[in-house]
Amino acid sequence: MTVTDRLVELMKERGINRSELSKGAGIPYTTIVALFEKGADNIKLSTMRKLASFFNVKLDDLVDGEIVQEHRDNELSDEDIITMAAHRIGHQGDLSEQEMEKIKLAMRIALAKK
């Protein structure tokens, strides 16, 4: 299985498209398109790290092996949930307590639907 095959699998699991992957992982859309069209042979390590972080998988598993999530969904800490949500919406800086509570609730609901 290639890196792009793994990415397609992860995107399907989360119900996202290339544009949403680009925004959520903080990677230019053109880089995502090039990755799918040309393969991952020349992809930067920093890009692969962003993808692994966004999908919550180990870099080695994304590149070489079977995809194994670092945490089971029901074992995510509040910090993990906030980080995932912040990546997803492209937020930078501190979140208010109210924003954090809304994100926690939304993420727990989304994760429960899997």
pTM (global) more than 0.85: no
Q: How many domains does the chain have?
A: 2
Angle at the Cα of 92 (from 40 to 24), degrees rounded to 5?
35
Residues 7 and 59 in one domain: yes
| Per-residue model confidence as pLDDT tens digits over 1-49 | 788 888 998 999 889 999 999 999 999 999 999 999 988 777 888 898 8
Residues 6+ apart with CB under 8 A from 82: 95, 100, 103, 104
What is the residue range of 42's domain? 3-63
H-run or E-run covering 38:
helix 29-38
Domain co-membership, 89 together with 50? no
